[in-house]
Chain A
Amino acid sequence: MLEKLKSQFGDAIESAEQIGRELRVQIAARSLVGAARLAKDEGFAYLADITAMDTNEALRVVYRLASLSTGHHLVASILVPRSGARLPSLTPVFRGAEWPEREVYDMFGIRFDGHPHMQRILLTDDWEGYPLLKTWQAR
């Protein structure tokens, strides 16, 4: 899988490491949709989760794909700026991406281009701020 990703996307694969059955890669945002399509064709057909975390320097969006037959995971991370970030939506590749992408927007403020309903999901529409940013303080 890693060889295929590297041959097709070259230096867009910024780092990679295999830990047990988990392949962790860091990729550039421009190759996200292409890499997701390739992964899906290679058997990583199940979108286990999309989430993010605030590392203080940047936001790290994490995509976890699983293979239903081998039990292997592909964990792809993308680093984006802490405010005003945009990423292409994975909904054309995985329909299941719709809700988790909305949740990432809700909690971190990252917008997904091409998403059918880019709105808040767990919080109310008039909520201010993005609670899972480390700078957000509970009142």
Chain B
Amino acid sequence: MTQALTPTETMILNMGPQHPSTHGVLRLQLTLDGEVVLDCKPVIGYLHRGVEKIGEARTYPQILPYTDRLDYLSSASNNLAYVQAVEKLMGVEVPERAKYLRVILLELNRIASHLMFVATFANDLAATTVFLYGLREREPIMDMFEMWTGARLTQSAMRVGGLGWDIPDGFVAKAREYCVFLPPRLDEYDRLLSGNRIFRVRTEGIGILPPEEAIDCGCSGPTLRGSGVKYDLRRDEPYEVYDQLDYDVITASTCDCMGRYVVRMAEMRQSLRIIEQCLDRLPEGDVIAKVPRAIRPQAGEAYGRVESPRGDFGCWVVSDGGPQPARVRFRAPSFYNLAALPRMLRGWKIGDVVAILGSIDIVLGEVDR
């Protein structure tokens, strides 16, 4: 009885900005009542570089490498959203071969990014083995990128009108080999994680995000699909050749950390399906359209929109007819997904914070821009 009368105080705990599980420089200001999270205020901006301001002082081709450094785990998606917008402004038609190659690059990037997610998510939940496995399986993709574009992360392979380079000799064989190599490895992770009692206890039913809230908060990607909303820009606003390919849009109805994990695991298998189809159908021809050397789109505005591994990545470009854009805006999925984090955290224990934060798979590079 005396215990019930003991007054309790709430406590503010700063998690980050230097914390191993924040995946970058993020500070979460947690309001705690004992072990229970009452509220969370994410403090962002530590990586702000002013990319949108820089963009107004650079020519169109010069902006491309900056986009790599937004979501640095999936630079191909960022590149594409930007070049898509410029292509729409200029009315450029991309050659068929370039469209297929772009899809291959995007999907390899998606697998690499999701492998990184599985690796770090498992590591956050103390399953270090999977962390090492995930990075090991990601390595062949990095090698393929290096072979093709010369870079492992910041590829800058997209160009207005197509791609910078055609694939080198031996690439197709390597990609096909990888499509056979990965599925048994994914089965292994499934056994290690989905079949692991500790992993399940820490993810199932934790960090619930109901579908209506997910939509209302502007969430996208696996965070939205993990809440059972079937929305994928590859299917709903198809670009490149996605409307001619056969794949499934994965959702999970559990709305929890497990759901978001399951969606990403299954998406990797779908990406392999897409890559195989593209390799089968890859047409001959040029990889870049004839585009004037000096890119000066006519005055107007256009919006490029890509389903990046994290969700709806948008790029709004406004041209005044000059060699530099009047405005470039990057709509980053992690920015919106992170804004919904406090809703997922409230009421859970402090030990769940790391699991819930890990499950939305943010990249601070694109949050802070």
Contacts and interface: CB of A to CB of B under 8 A. Distances in A.
Interface of A: 21-22, 45-49, 51, 53-55, 62, 64, 68, 71, 73, 75, 94-96, 98-100, 107, 120-124, 131-132, 134, 136, 138
A99 B343 CA distance: 14
B331 A49 contact: yes
A134 B327 CA distance: 10
A13 B263 CA distance: 42
Contacts of B176: none
A48 B233 CA distance: 12
B216 interface: yes
Contact of A123 (B48, B231, B305, B318): B48
Contacts of A98: 339
B contact patch SS: mixed
29 contacts: A21-B237, A22-B303, A46-B218, A48-B218, A48-B305, A48-B331, A49-B314, A49-B316, A49-B331, A68-B231, A71-B236, A71-B237, A95-B216, A96-B217, A96-B218, A96-B339, A96-B340, A99-B336, A99-B339, A121-B45, A122-B45, A122-B368, A123-B45, A123-B48, A124-B45, A131-B50, A134-B56, A138-B50, A138-B53
A57 B67 CA distance: 29
Nearest to B342: A98
Contact of B216 (A64, A71, A75, A96): A96
Interface in B185-241: 213, 215-219, 229, 231, 236-237
Contacts of B340: 96
A57 to B, nearest CB: 13
B215 A46 contact: yes
Contacts of B52: 107, 132
B350 to A, nearest CB: 23
